[in-house]
Structure formats: C-alpha cells, structure tokens
Chain A
Amino acid sequence: MKTTNPLSRLFGPNPFSLLKSHMRVVIACASKMSGLFEAVMANDSAVVERIQKEIFALEAEADAIKKDVRKHLPRTILLPVNRSDLIDLLNMQDKIANTTQDIAGLVVERHMDVPAGIRADLMPFVDDCLRVCHQAATIIEELDELLETGFSGPEAKSVSDMIDQLNLMEDTSDESGMAILRALFKYEDELNPVSVMFWYRLIEWIGDTADHAEAVGERLLLMIDNR
C-alpha cells in the first residue's frame, strides 16, 4: 500500500522566505555600487569592468529567484496577505537590482569620467541611497517575525516604525541628490553636453534605487494595514 499524504501536499513553499532570499541577493547587488563608483572616480577601468560583471551576475540571480517566487504563487494558494501586494513587493525589490544593473551598464559602455565639480558630492550621494536600500533589506528580514505574529501587534508596530525611518532616509538621499544636481548645473557649460546629459541620467538612476527601496517599505506597510 502506498501512502496518501494530504498534509504535506497542503503546504506550498513559504513565499516570505523566498522574498528574503531575493532581497539578500538584491542588496548584495546594489552594495556593489559603492565600489563601482570608487573605481570610476579612480579611473580604474579594470575594476569597473570586474564589478560590472559581478553586478550583472547578481541581477541575473535575483531574476531567477523572482521567477521562482511567481511560479509558486498560483491563484489557488491561500496567503496571509494580498497576493498582488506580495507580487508588487517582489517587483519593487527586483527594480533595485535592475536599476543597479542599468547604472553599471552605463558606466562601462560609456566611459563616464567624473567631472571635477561633482567629485565631492558623488560618493555621499551613492552612500545615502545605499543606506535607504540597506534599511529596506533590514525591514525585509523581519518578514518571518511578521508572519509569526500574523502581521499584527508590537512586531507590526516596530516594522512600521522602521518604515518611517526608511522614509526619512529617503528624504536625506533626495537632498544629496539635489546637491549633486546643483553642482552639475553650475559646471555644465564647461562640460561636453552629451556627457552632461548622461550624468543627469546617471544621477537620476542612482536616486531611483533609493526610491524603489522606499517603495518596498510602502508595499510592506500596505500588507500590514490591509487586515
């Protein structure tokens, strides 16, 4: 006689563990930006290319996990949160890695020399944006605890406090973004116009990583509030 096992077939893979593993890869990917821009500042194209390859590999890894999560979320599954909120959260996490990939691609394909006028503002801006990403990653680490408490009580409160901090950090990164834009504007007449255009785009993209990280928090807050 073979065995029937309705209980073991009842449980799907925990999507929150998968979200955590996805976010760990995403944050590893985004963190590479720091080394990337240090190498760009130092004009070390060998290091820039090496880091670009690492970023592309991590982005691909994140993509694979993302596809795996979506495969495990058929409509017949009972989740403790809204299914579309969960998918939105996943997409937001993934956008951080995607944007990092775009940034790395651009600095490699179009040898971006850092204009003297924005050298002082670049690294603080990148670091501020990464701080927002790290805060989002720290928040995602709380998913198991949120599940244990059914997205309620003091645990939910502490996560929503962390999300408040996340929003404040994003405000700070916005300010650094404005600072570097002002610096670039001041020198733009002295620079090659095409380079200026690409620098505006690059600054926008770096800022986007922080925006996506903030959106991760917003989506999670929706899950907590949608009870």
Chain B
Amino acid sequence: MEIIVTYGPWFIGLALLAGLYMTWGVGANDLANAMGTSVGAGALSVKQAIVIAAVFEFAGAVLAGGSVTSTIRKGIIDPSGLEANPEYLVYGMLAALLSAGFWLMIASSKGWPVSTTHSIIGALVGFGIVGIGVSSVQWGQIGSIVASWIISPLVGGTLAFGLMHSIRALILNKEDPFEAARKWGPYYIFLVGFIIALVTITKGLKHLDITISSFNALLLSIGVGVLTALVGGTMLRRAKRDLEAEKDFRFASVEKVFAPMMIFTACAMAFAHGSNDVANGIGPLAAIVSIVGSGGEILQESALPIWVLLVGGLGIVIGLVTMGYRVMLTVGEKITELTPTRGFCAELAAASTVVLASGTGLPVSTTHILVGAVMGVGLSRGVGALDLKMIGRIVTSWIITLPVAGLVAAILFFVFRAIFG
C-alpha cells in the first residue's frame, strides 16, 4: 500500500506517457489505414479525413468503447490474488503498455502487419502468468477473443461479399446504373447510420448508465439512419452524369455517386475504430489510475474517468497528424483499385463487424477485418488482383506477436518490481 501512495504520481505519469505512446501508434497506423480507403477513393482530402477521424474516433470511444475498455481492464486477468500487493497490478499494466508499444515499434519498422490489439492482449497474458499465476488468466475469455480474431475477418468478408452482390443486382446490372445509384444510394447510407446506431445504442450505452428499451433503441436507430440518409441524399443529388468519362469507362458516373457515400463509411470506420482500439491504450491506463486513485483498492467498481478517454483521443489525433497523414496518402495512392463502390462495401462491412465486436466487448483488429472485407469484395470477382500472401503474413505476425509481447511484459514486470520494490 505504501508503495502506491509514495510513488502514485510517478505511476500515473509513466502510465500516461505509455498510454499516449500506444494511442499515438494506433492513430499513426491503424486508424490511418482505415481512413486511407476513403482518401484513396477521392471522397475526402487528408485534412477532412483527419477532422472526421478525430471527431468520430472520440465519439466511438466514448459512446461504444466501454465494453472493450472493461475487457482490457479486468477481463483478461483476474487481479483478485493481488489484494496484498496492489502495486504488482500497476507494474503489470505498465509493463503491458510498454511491451506492446515496444513490440509495435519493432514490428512496424520491419513492415510486419502487427495489430495493437494482439500486442496488448499478449502482453497482459504474459504479465498475468508471471506476475500473478497461470490461473489468474481468464483463459475462457482469451479463447473467445482469439476465436474472434479468426471469425471477425470472415464476418467482414462475408458482409462485403453480400453487399457487393447487392450493389450489382440493384445498381450496376441495371439499364441505367447512374439513376439506379441515385435511387438506391440513400438506402445504403441509411444502412451505415442504422447499423452503427443500433449496435451502439443496444450494446454500448449501458456503460454510460443509459438504458433504453429495445423498441426505443430500434426506433432511435431508424431515426439516425433516416437522418444520415437525408443528409447523404442531398449530396447524391448533386452528383452529375459525366458523359465524357463514361466513354472511357461506362460506370464512371456511378462511381461519382458512390464517392460521397464513402464519407459516411469513413465516419463509420473512425467510430468503429474508436469503439475498439482506443481501449488498447487507455484500458491499462484506466486500471492504473483507478488503483492509484483509491490508494490501492483493486476490486472496486469505478467508472472510467472522462479525462482518460480524452488522453486516448489526444494520442490518436497526434498520431494521425504527425504520421498518419502520410500513411493515408500512401494507402490512398496504392489502392486506386478500390473504387468507391468496392471501397464502400469493404468499409461498411468492416465498420459493422468492428462495432458489433465492440458491443460484445471483444478486442479485434480493425485492419485485419478491413483486409478480410477487401478479400470478400475480391471473392465476388470485384478486384483485379489480390495478394493472398498477405493472409499468411498476418497469421504469422500474430503467432509471433503473442509470445513476444508476453515475454517482454513479463521481463518489464520484474524490472519494475526491482526498481520500486
């Protein structure tokens, strides 16, 4: 107990730095990957993408991020064996944050497609085994998280596959695809608003102690959907048929209708990302703040302080502004193959999958799900060529990430214990 009281400000300061570093990495890589699609499709400029990302990322973290943050804080390891030494939990959470951040730095310098989610989970498990004991790790929960890492990209892929086919049936294969796009576009925009709102309201808001009946939730979601569709509808009506471009590519005008639709999926992606990935950085930070704040109590139920969320949001925006914009530009340049119709399907599918995972408290990887969704578009015969070696690289990167992040976290835990006692 005395250690917590003596070094409390130190712990919080260190956790703050480590948390900022993690969220900075998340903003620089993960979020930028997610937003780059819309930038590449020409729907958004990089500046607009940064503004949208900042607003919706934060909204996602606040409105729908509670479940995942709580999973990271107390769902992975059971700290009940540490009542006598609450400082161990502080060391462990710090070690996990630093280890995940350290591993991300190494992996991204090598260009490995490593996920922040996998790093932090691996690190937490590593600390749990060494610092508390094998039985403190909630293996059942870990099992479902690992399963979700396999299932979520498949779900994203299936949704994208279905969406692509529906766009073909309703729009591209029609006599006048441009008119069909203007007619059905608002319905697709409705879907974006409706799905995100529905999952957020039914699953996310309970962490803010707001309860809404299922019926009202449905009504409210439909309302949000209609509102987005109305806003989107006015934007779509401004799209003009481009006969000159149609000579070269018959679907040029249809793509012009879909370009503004990708603004909505970009918002959804940022929201979804905020609801899931911000937790990687602020979950451990929140745990440390609550232990120090209570003078060493580890089992109390405390709400997530809003300033912790703000730190997470800040880190992500700094990451985007300092490095993420470059990632967005490269992603945008390199994936011109992802035209607005294809990008729309991939992003809507990915955002829906991520938000659904967030609602159930499962920490997943947004980037991997987006890769899965793009594969789904590819399997519907919609993309020129996709490199399947990417799947292998992703699988390898997680098989390596879990033990490495865990091992480093375990070592750091002992280092902290040696320093602070």
Contacts from A to B (Cβ < 8 Å): 1-17, 72-73, 76-81, 144-145, 147-155, 227
Contacts and interface: CB of A to CB of B under 8 A. Distances in A.
Contacts of B25: 1
Contacts of B72: none
B335 A11 contact: yes
Interface in B311-335: 323, 326-327, 330-331, 333-335
A9 B390 contact: yes
A4 B371 contact: no
Nearest to A17: B384
Interface in B391-418: 393-394
A11 B334 contact: yes
Contact of B384 (A5, A76, A80, A153): A80
Nearest to B254: A148
Contacts of A76: 387-389
Interface stretch (B3-11, B204-212, B233-241, B375-383): B375-383
Contacts of B104: 1
B387 A9 contact: yes
Interface stretch (B77-85, B105-113, B133-141, B356-364): B105-113
B228 interface: no
Contacts of B385: 11-15, 72-73, 77-79
B374 interface: yes
B378 A78 contact: yes
A145 B371 CA distance: 24
Contacts of A147: 381-384
Given A78-B378, A80-B378, A145-B249, A11 B386 contact: yes
16 contacts: A1-B25, A3-B323, A4-B107, A6-B113, A7-B37, A7-B370, A9-B390, A11-B335, A14-B385, A15-B384, A76-B387, A78-B383, A78-B388, A149-B172, A149-B173, A152-B168
Nearest to A143: B384
Interface residues of B, number: 60
B341 interface: yes
B367 A7 contact: yes
Nearest to A9: B390
Given A6-B394, A78-B383, 17 more contacts: A1-B28, A1-B323, A3-B327, A6-B368, A6-B371, A8-B331, A11-B386, A13-B384, A76-B388, A78-B387, A80-B381, A80-B384, A145-B249, A147-B382, A149-B172, A149-B251, A154-B175
B202 interface: no
Interface string B118-162: 000000000000000000000000000000000000000000000
10 tightest Cβ-Cβ pairs between the two chains A and B: A153-B173, A14-B384, A8-B334, A80-B381, A12-B385, A6-B113, A150-B381, A78-B386, A2-B109, A4-B108
Contact of B393 (A6, A17, A72): A6
B33 to A, nearest CB: 5
A148 to B, nearest CB: 5
B297 interface: no
Contacts of B36: 7-8
Given A3-B28, A4-B114, A150-B381, A12 B168 contact: no
Interface string B87-122: 000000000000000001101110111100000000
B350 to A, nearest CB: 11
Nearest to B36: A7
Interface string B329-357: 01101110111010000000000000000
B387 A10 contact: yes
B25 to A, nearest CB: 6
B47 interface: no
Nearest to A144: B249
A80 B382 CA distance: 7
Nearest to B175: A154
Interface in B1-46: 24-25, 28-29, 32-33, 36-37
Which of A4, A148, A153 gathers most chain B CB within 10 Å? A4
A227 B338 CA distance: 22
Contacts of A151: 381
Given A10-B387, A11-B385, A78-B386, A148 B172 contact: yes
Contacts of B272: none
B124 to A, nearest CB: 21
A16 B33 contact: no
Contacts of B381: 80-81, 147, 150-152, 227
